[in-house]
Structure 1
């Protein structure tokens, strides 16, 4: 019996040819001699060249090492490569390749040149790299760097701001309800629903046994939020997201929001919250870590503990005094502060973290867990209402 013909794709290539093509692109130039027998041409050849520049290998250098390919030593050649990968690969893949180029080929140094920044695909990881470099940037590059950072920040705001404001306004509204409202503050719709059992047919009306309304807002801000963010190098993505969320929280009139970043020193960036880009360029990524000192500063700024939520965002690798840090958290909780510990605020999953310190916080009733940007509004809503936090299940 004759074999059935292999299925042919829309471009005329058989499924077998397509598999060989993909393997050839994965394996690199050596694949032609290693059994695929597949030659590349046109766009495929250009893709292969771009991949080889980053992931290819060179002959043994005499010391038993295999060295990666390169992009050349100049910004123009790297910029051309960045343009090529944006042509042949989707944005998500481009971002991964850029990250690998920074790690493998020392591309970070070339990001100090404007033509390089104009060629890159902006993302959160690139922002972290730029923030770690911005002290060394020449003046001609800084404005371009701010433009790249602003694009990422605006993209994050479009994705996160509306949902965050909606969740927190609802939480603040529920937290502000009272069962002893003044007449002008009664919420009649909720009051009627809560008292339907006391409907009196003979009068044709509900006789409310419990009033529901809103607490008076004349005293000003009802809740305070303190974001205390670790700016060590491993927390770069968390710093970016925290800056955006800090600006969103600060836009809510019912919240008094403070943003504090720290390494071995503490910087209060609250006065920059109207522009998260200014916040980010006020950070200094890559220092040590003194969580105790940062919490001491935050504690000194709390005026109404029972109405305050403190959010510590850190991998908990404490360089300060561990026991003092835990005592400070315990003291804040005893005074009525709602304390939240996030190991990361990013889409990267669970990070490396200090498990001993996390266990110490858990013993105080403060679970430490990684949080995605999409989950953060729910975490904050629960904290503001005094509900249990929706802690994600451990993997």
Structure 2
């Protein structure tokens, strides 16, 4: 329906619904002189969203004298615009419009986004984190509820998708607490003292102490080291890597480490179980020194055969390749399981140096463009 976002009430002017011709004038952004005065607020709201002179009516020769959706004077600020959007289109559409404006570069709208109403997306989370990086603590505190809501929702969604790929990472063990299925052999052995012979000669066991099967948290006998490139070109992949690491940190059989590197390496393992804290600690920017990240990872290895080293990068190494290849060969030679995950751009397509990746493959490290789900499957196959 022209002029009405999905799920919103049709725009109204004073006295009732706008006439179809007036609604088209608003959509096309032309002939504002023919709009009723009561439609001025609608025209202004649309101009603030699309930009005066940049709406649909500004292209294709439709503009001319009297063109443009609304008044020349913009709203005094984003709060007034936000309130007007809620009145005109409803709170749901207001959150959609503000989120779209934020991801397109309007950082001033972030303070108006309601944490409980906004639709979570990685793009919006990246925008908020990018903006939060340069804020003083007082203003950052105001954004924390929004960041927390986005991170929790996205992590929960990701965990739902990853858990099936990680099946089998916990083992059943006997328990006296009800909850799992009855472990009949163990129950019989535990209750032999209650065995009685019935008059017909059969033996009956009264299970005074039944034993059940439960899901066990086995000791963390595998180590996963995520070596994550946080150079300037890696923003989208960094968010996914941090969320994935937080999900994997909940796997009982894994001890998950998170190393962030550009030209320096920072060990953020202490934050890995809290994705909000982890993402707020990650600072994207700088050059790329993959060899330094792998060197630090090698220092964390204790049992090579039970160690997974996953590098998330575009493999645009800024230092001589000899050092990088030597680190890969050292890890592979020690018996570690290594994997290179190519970075993904905003559309989910792989973007990485195929030349460097080819040399890494020859050195013993497979390189693939994996989604978080595919990475979880690889991890699950290794540790089960």
Q: Same fold (TM over 0.5)?
A: yes
Tell me the CA shift for residue 136 of structure 1. Answer: 2.1
Tell me the CA shift for residue 44 of structure 1. Answer: 8.1
Aligned match of 2:253: 254
* Alpha carbons of structure 1 residues 361 and 51: separation in structure 2 relative to 1, 3 Å: same
SS of 1:374's equivalent? helix
Tell me the CA shift for residue 22 of structure 1. Answer: 8.5
* Alpha carbons of structure 1 residues 311 and 79: separation in structure 2 relative to 1, 3 Å: farther
Cα distance in 2 between the residues matched to 1:321 and 1:70: 56
Aligned match of 1:115: 111
SS of 2:270's equivalent? helix
* Alpha carbons of structure 1 residues 71 and 264: separation in structure 2 relative to 1, 3 Å: farther
Aligned match of 2:155: 157
* Alpha carbons of structure 1 residues 163 and 128: separation in structure 2 relative to 1, 3 Å: closer
Aligned match of 1:287: 286
- Residue pair 2:125, 2:147 contacting (<8 A) in 1 also: yes
The alignment's TM-score, normalised by the length of structure 1, stands at: 0.63
Instruction: Name stretches of at least 5 consecutive residues in structure 1 with no aligned partner.
Output: 1-10, 12-17, 60-68, 174-187, 189-216, 386-395
* Alpha carbons of structure 1 residues 325 and 362: separation in structure 2 relative to 1, 3 Å: same
1:29 has 2:29 as partner: yes
* Alpha carbons of structure 1 residues 284 and 143: separation in structure 2 relative to 1, 3 Å: same
* Alpha carbons of structure 1 residues 80 and 239: separation in structure 2 relative to 1, 3 Å: farther
Aligned with 1:52 (options 50, 59, 65): 50
Cα distance in 2 between the residues matched to 1:42 and 1:49: 11
Tell me the CA shift for residue 290 of structure 1. Answer: 1.2
Cα distance in 2 between the residues matched to 1:170 and 1:43: 59
Aligned match of 2:233: 234
Tell me the CA shift for residue 347 of structure 1. Answer: 7.3
Cα distance in 1 between the residues matched to 2:41 and 2:76: 25
* Alpha carbons of structure 1 residues 44 and 289: separation in structure 2 relative to 1, 3 Å: same
Aligned match of 2:375: 376
Question: Deviation per CA, 1:44-92, whole angstroms, max 9, x where unpaired?
Answer: 8577435422881799xxxxxxxxx997784435655876788585977
- Residue pair 1:117, 1:145 contacting (<8 A) in 2 also: no
- Residue pair 1:131, 1:285 contacting (<8 A) in 2 also: no
Note the aligned Cα RMSD (angstroms).
4.3
Aligned match of 2:310: 311
Task: Give the 5 Å matches for 1:66-77.
Answer: 74-76=77-79
Cα distance in 2 between the residues matched to 1:331 and 1:71: 62
SS of 2:348's equivalent? coil
Cα distance in 1 between the residues matched to 2:294 and 2:124: 29
Larger Rg: 2
Task: Give the 5 Å matches for 1:89-168.
Answer: 89=93, 95-100=99-104, 102=105, 107-108=106-107, 110=108, 115-118=111-114, 121=118, 122-168=120-166
* Alpha carbons of structure 1 residues 138 and 158: separation in structure 2 relative to 1, 3 Å: same
SS of 1:309's equivalent? strand
- Residue pair 1:53, 1:70 contacting (<8 A) in 2 also: no
- Residue pair 1:231, 1:286 contacting (<8 A) in 2 also: yes
- Residue pair 1:345, 1:373 contacting (<8 A) in 2 also: no
Number of equivalences: 306
Instruction: Name stretches of at least 5 consecutive residues in structure 2 with no aligned partner.
Output: 1-9, 11-19, 59-71, 172-184, 186-215
SS of 2:111's equivalent? helix
Tell me the CA shift for residue 362 of structure 1. Answer: 2.6
Tell me the CA shift for residue 118 of structure 1. Answer: 4.4
Question: Deviation per CA, 1:278-330, whole angstroms, max 9, x where unpaired?
Answer: 11111111222211111110111111111111111111121233221122112
SS of 2:255's equivalent? strand
Cα distance in 2 between the residues matched to 1:233 and 1:353: 13
